[in-house]
Amino acid sequence: MNRALTAALAAVGAIVIVVVGVSLEGDDEDRGGDEPAATESEPSPETPASETPTGQEQPSQTPTASQTPEEQDRSTTYVGRVDGGAATLAVVVEGSEATAYFCDGVAVESWLGGSATAGRLKLSGDNGSLDADVEARRTIGSVRVEGLRFGFTLREVEPPQGLYRVAETISGAEVNGGWIVLPSGRQVGLVTVDGRSRPAPSLDPATGEVRVDGQVLTAEMQG
């Protein structure tokens, strides 16, 4: 009887062990199922984080760091005569913008403004337009003023050569003037006083001072 009871108890113990073992294995599988879920969720925040800064911020930082300061700080001036020598032209490139002044020194002038992008200039004004390419220390293109078109090749220059401009008021009359100082030292420009244009008097490139109708004005170098 004792032996039978002992055998019965042993059988019950074996069943309990098996049941507990199965229960424990089931718990391990649940944790194992949760762990992959946790593991899969970990790359989730990393993937967007890596895609957003790496894929979006880095490209935006590259042009900002390498291009924007250069574009904002750089200023280059080109001057010369148009093909055929009928007029003088100056172009000032400042970053992504450019200004040009066309003048025959007698009666015709044109101020133009526009973009300077990837070595390409596209400018326009009330009575003309300009298209050109910027190459090594020169700009080549064509300018159209009052229906006439001129080709040109302008060379890069350094101060005091370049483009000067003045906008003042004398005795209630508006005064606007433009000067192009060529490498030879020659000056070409026009001054408009109260709506009437005339050849510009000589200015002092060292100071920008010029006398108009008895008044001393200061022309500012462009660029």
pLDDT tens for 27-74 read 433 333 333 333 333 333 333 333 434 444 443 333 333 445 555 567
- How far apart, in Å, are the Cα atoms of 111 and each of 95, 157, 176? 18, 19, 11
Query: Which residue range(s) make up the domain with 215?
Result: 162-221
Q: What is the pLDDT of residue 48?
A: 38
CA dist., res. 193 & res. 158, Å (int): 29
Chain mean pLDDT for the chain: 78
Q: Are residues 22 and 38 in the same domain?
A: yes
Q: Which phi-psi region, left, alpha or beta, contains residue 97 (left: φ > 0; alpha: ψ -120 to 50)?
A: beta
The last residue of one of the domains, among 21, 41, 66, is 66
Q: Are residues 18 and 58 in the same domain?
A: yes
**The token pair that represents 198 in the structure block:** 């005339």
CA dist., res. 216 & res. 213, Å (int): 8
Question: Who has greater pLDDT, 171 or 27?
Answer: 171
pTM: 0.69
Q: Are residues 78 and 152 in the same domain?
A: yes
Strand partners, 123: 114, 130
Residue-wise pLDDT tens digits, 81-106: 999 999 999 999 999 999 999 999 99
CA dist., res. 107 & res. 88, Å (int): 12
Nearest to 164 by CA among 196, 112, 209: 209
Residue 43 φ then ψ, to 5°: -65, -20
The last residue of one of the domains, among 19, 47, 66, is 66
